[in-house]
Amino acid sequence: MAIYIIPDQNILRYTIYSEHRIAICILRKSIRIFTIYIVNKWKHMRNKQPRISVIIPAYNEQGYIEDCLESLDKQTFRDFETIVIDSGHDNTSRIARKHKTKVIKYVKNGPAAARNIGAENSRGDILVFADADCRFDADFLHRINQKFEKPIGGGICQLSVYDYDRKSDAIMYEMINTITKALIAMRFIVTSGSCFVYDRKAFFNAKGFNAKLYTNEDHDLARRVGKQKRFEVFDNITVQTSSRRLKKWGIFKTARIYTKSALLYFLSNKPLMEYWDNI
pLDDT of residue 141: 98
201 in a structural domain: yes
pLDDT of residue 48: 75
Instruction: Tell me the average confidence (pLDDT) per consecutive run of 10 residues in the chain, 279 residues long.
Output: 53 57 66 61 60 96 96 97 95 94 90 95 97 97 96 95 85 88 90 91 96 90 94 94 85 80 82 63
pLDDT of residue 257: 80
33 in a structural domain: no
70 in a structural domain: yes
pLDDT of residue 44: 44
32 in a structural domain: no
Max CA pair span of the chain: 121
Q: Give me the CATH number covering residue 242.
A: 3.90.550.10
142: containing domain? 52-277
206 in a structural domain: yes
227 in a structural domain: yes
208 in a structural domain: yes
Query: Within 10 Å of residue 13's Cβ, how many Cβ atoms?
Result: 10
Q: How many domains does the chain have?
A: 1
Q: How far apart are CA 9 and CA 29, in angstroms?
A: 30
45 in a structural domain: no
**CB-neighbour burial class of residue 29 (10 A; exposed 0-12, middle 13-18, buried 19+):** exposed
